[in-house]
A = this chain, B = another copy of it.
Amino acid sequence: MGIVVQKFGGSSVADAERIISVTRRVIAEKDKGNWVVVVVSAMGKTTDNLLALASQITDRPDPREIDMLISTGEQISISLLAIAIQSMGYPAISFTGPQIGILTDQIHRKAKIVHINDEKIKQALEEGKVVIVAGFQGCTLENEITTLGRGGSDTTAVALAAVLGADVCDIYTDVDGVYTTDPRIVKNARKLDRISYDEMLELASQGAKVLYSRAVEFAKKYNVPVHVRSSFNDNPGTMVVKEEKDMEDIVVSGVAYNRDEAKISILGVPDRPGIAAEIFGSLGDANIVVDMIIQNVAEKELNDISFTVGKDDFNEALNVAKQECKRLKARDVVYDTEIAKVSVVGVGMKSHCSVAAKMFRALAKNNINIEMISTSEIKISCIINGKDVDKAVQAIHDEFELEGAK
């Protein structure tokens, strides 16, 4: 008896017809004799529509009330999917995140799962039921409804797979798997059969939206095999797994891009120890996740500090930056919301040199200016002008001959 967790995104449950076709996949797994747990997102554009309603009332809604509002989206999908599965003659039961005991911290709209009580799920599975859980949501100890932020349903699915010791976590999506880069930009992008957690993590955090980084972190931590595959066909997708020896033979696995960041610079910051800790401490206190940070000397004893944040956090980050600028008696705050980030990712980088030079060369050949650079063991990212993204991704993909690699 295996345990399979299946996750279906919003486009897979966008209407009654698609919900019915999701039931076929659920039943197929159940018929194999597996215990099946299904995690679903809100139908189609439901979350966006609910947010649009709130924005008709005010620009700055209370995050607690937004969580109350948007968590209804998944609650609608789970009940409809349960009804659909039952109508096929299979017992099924739906649970909201709070009901099933997905306990989170108190940070509304970006809550982190702190504990999952698997008692109720296991009981229902033992009773022979398909268990359907609302993705993206949980609750605090005080029974306040929270949501997990972008990609929250992926996180719910992988976390449940981890807690239940599932054999696999199937992430059904509208693409066939993880590609060397976005196939909408690069026509000859290639689907990867497998990818390591670390590479997926870098690709995800660099903007590849097929699987979100927090879900990958969970998968890595608990060693959950994740299968990213299409909800529209039965082709094998991409297995996201623990790094294996032969993976290092491939220097670069993929090229990612991200248009959802903005750059903020605090200019003329006094050069004394602890300044950076103060600035980024304040941003952290405001629950803003900072991506790249660059500091260089502008003039004698004055530094320029630049950083990038997600566009969702831009307004708040800019406020914090302005307060810090005033407090530190720095010169000015400037920003640029028209930037983009391109990244190459590959575990093989650890054992190969000149990957960076090759990437910079691809950009230079195409007259693309690099504004910021950041590297990790298995990733190199460059901030460029937003209008150059497509050209940059194609150039890098070509330079590393990703369409032809094994």
CA distance A311 to B71 in the complex (A): 33
Contacts A53-B16, A57-B19; is A76 near B72 (CB within 8 Å)? yes
Task: Let me know if A80 is at the binding interface, CB within 8 A.
Answer: yes
CB distance from A334 to the nearest CB of B (A): 31
| Chain B residues whose C-beta falls within 8 Å of the C-beta of A308 in the assembled complex | none
B-chain residues with CB within 8 Å of residue A82 when the two chains form the complex:
62, 65, 68
Given A69-B79, A76-B69, A79-B68: A99 and B54 interface contact (C-beta under 8 Å): no
Identical subunits present? 2
A84 at interface by CB-CB < 8 Å: yes
A87 at the interface (CB under 8 A from B): yes
Chain A residues touching B, range? 35 or more
Query: How far, in Å, is A80 (CB) from chain B's closest CB?
Result: 6
B86 touches A65 (CB 8 A): yes
Q: A394 at interface (Cβ–Cβ under 8 A)?
A: no
A173 to chain B, nearest CB (A): 23
Say whether A80 contacts B66, CB under 8 Å.
no
Chain A 297-341 per-residue mask, 1 if CB under 8 angstroms from chain B, else 0: 000000000000000000000000000000000000000000000
A288 interface contact, C-beta 8 A: no
Contacts of A20 in B (CB 8 A): 57
Interface residues of A in 74-95 (CB under 8 A from B): 75-76, 78-80, 82-84, 86-87, 93-94
- Judged by a CB distance under 8 angstroms, whether A183 is at the interface is no
B76 touches A58 (CB 8 A): no
Asked whether, in the complex, the Cβ of B16 is within 8 Å of the Cβ of A57, the reply is: yes
Contact present for A65 and B87 (CB under 8 Å): no
The B-contacting residues of A in range 162-186, CB under 8 angstroms, are none
For A287, list chain B residues within 8 Å (CB): none
A311 to chain B, nearest CB (A): 22
Closest CB in chain B relative to A381 CB, distance in Å: 37
Q: How far does the Cβ of A38 sit from chain B's closest Cβ, in whole Å?
A: 14
How far is it, in angstroms, between the C-alpha of A62 and the C-alpha of B99 when the chains are bound? 18
Question: A33 contacts the other chain (Cβ, under 8 Å)?
Answer: no
Q: Which residue of the partner chain B has the closest CB to A82?
A: B65
Contacts of A236 in B (CB 8 A): none
Q: Is the CB of A83 within 8 A of B99?
A: no
Contact of A58 with B75 in the complex, beta carbons under 8 Å = no
Taking the closest CB of chain B, its distance from the CB of A60, in whole angstroms, is: 8
Contact of A86 with B69 in the complex, beta carbons under 8 Å? no
Docked Cα-Cα span, A145 to B82, in Å, equals: 15
The residues of B that contact A72 with a CB separation of less than 8 Å are 72, 75-76
Query: Known contacts A50-B76, A76-B50, A99-B143: does B68 contact A84 (CB below 8 Å)?
Result: no
Q: Known contacts A68-B75, A76-B72, A94-B68; decide if A84 and B58 are in contact (CB<8 Å).
A: yes
- In the bound complex, residues from chain B placing their C-beta under 8 Å from that of A94 are 65, 68
Please, what's the 1-or-0 string for A33-53, where 1 marks a CB less than 8 Å from any CB in chain B? 000000000000000001001
- Would you call B76 and A61 a contact (CB within 8 A)? no
Question: What residue of chain B has the Cβ atom nearest to residue A77's Cβ?
Answer: B69
For residue A56, CB closer than 8 A to chain B, the reply is: yes
- In angstroms, Cα B53 to Cα A20, docked, is 12
Q: Is the CB–CB distance between A57 and B75 below 8 Å?
A: no
Q: List 21 A-B contacts (CB under 8 A).
A: A16-B53, A50-B76, A53-B76, A57-B80, A57-B87, A58-B87, A61-B83, A61-B87, A62-B82, A62-B83, A64-B93, A65-B82, A65-B94, A66-B83, A68-B75, A68-B79, A69-B79, A69-B80, A69-B83, A72-B76, A99-B143
Which 6 A/B pairs are nearest by Cβ-Cβ distance? A16-B56, A72-B72, A69-B79, A58-B87, A68-B79, A65-B79
Q: A62-B83, A65-B86 known; 18 other A-B pairs, CB under 8 Å?
A: A16-B57, A50-B76, A53-B80, A54-B80, A57-B83, A58-B83, A58-B84, A65-B83, A68-B78, A68-B82, A68-B94, A69-B76, A69-B80, A69-B83, A71-B75, A72-B72, A72-B75, A99-B143
